[in-house]
Amino acid sequence: MTALARLLSSIKRRVPPPLRGMGLMMFAAMMSMTMATIAKDLVQELPVFEVVFFRQLFGTLLLAPVLFRPGVNPLRTHRIGMHGLRALFNFVAILGYFTSLGLVPLAQITALGFTSPVFASLLAVLVLGEAVRTPRMVGLLLGFAGALIILRPGFETVSAGSLYVLGSAASWAVAMTCIKALSRTETSVAITFYAAFLQLPMALVAALFVWQWPSPGQLGLLLVISAIGTLAQISLSQAFREADSTVVLPMDFTKLVWASLLGYAVFAEIPDPWAWIGGLVVFSGVLWVAYSERRRRVADGGE
């Protein structure tokens, strides 16, 4: 073990798991918004399918040195079907997200993206048959109200870009449910690797129909967003392993701060106050559901 690795290991042992989880979630939020900022510029020049393909290709290659160390097999799994389901919905989510980047301001995309956990709660009720408890109903209503505040149908035209974001959020909700299930038995690296690797053939087939060779500079940026995106995914998975979702979820709201700052600095996008208000309403619903579910588990003796 190198001196740096020993130092990092020592720091990790001294920091309580809740603080580690919060720090990892904040780091994941910052990385996600940095990736989105670079990708927003790239999708103006390259087909979206191609950007998604290189994102997954480079992400897979970047993980290879970690995966194939002697005596280590982090890819052993008996849940390849769940990995495949996660990859499918992750592909749809990232495709919708990257498409929306060229159509909608970054802060609005981020605010609408907070509806993913709301969709996840709705899926749990409709698909898994979970009980419609009062806290969950309140969270769903707040999520719906927040989305309406951001979109303001009847006052503003609901753009195609906004619909892409909502479709992406719904797909990501399914992917998040898979990640949560996989994190009980799989490593963060394995979850991230299988997501990237299994999406490769999907993205390649779609990209071949619109292929446009990227320039060296564009290839460099594609490599950068892949590295940043991979790091964000690993940090996100590890954050949920370190601490309860009620502890780490509030840190995800920092995405809106980064989105507003980067959107203004790079694209001269003036932050929409309705996106902030709606995003806060949606996020309060998400946090309320997470907090209520944790209290229920404690009361039932689950923690």
139-181: pLDDT as tens digits: 778 888 888 888 876 556 678 888 898 899 989 888 877 877 7
The answer to whether residue 8 is domain-embedded is: no
The answer to whether residue 11 is domain-embedded is: no
The answer to whether residue 15 is domain-embedded is: no
Confidence class for position 35, pLDDT limits 50, 70, 90: very high
Contacts of 198 (CB under 8 A, 6+ apart): 83, 84, 87, 88
Instruction: Indicate the number of domains in the chain.
Output: 1
Q: Are 270 and 108 in contact (CB under 8 A)?
A: no
Residue 245: predicted pLDDT: 67
36-76: pLDDT as tens digits: 999 998 998 999 999 989 988 888 887 777 666 665 555 66
The answer to whether residue 143 is domain-embedded is: yes
The answer to whether residue 82 is domain-embedded is: yes
Question: What number is the average pLDDT over the span 93-122?
Answer: 86
What percent of the chain is predicted at pLDDT more than 90?
15
Write out the residue range of the structural domain in which residue 221 sits. 21-298
* Angle, helix 134-151 to helix 106-113, in steps of 10 degrees: 160
The answer to whether residue 121 is domain-embedded is: yes
The answer to whether residue 41 is domain-embedded is: yes
216-271: pLDDT as tens digits: 999 999 999 988 988 887 888 788 777 776 677 777 878 888 888 888 888 888 87
Cα-Cα end-to-end distance for the chain: 35
Question: Which segment of 122-131, 194-203, 265-274 scores lowest on mean pLDDT?
Answer: 122-131
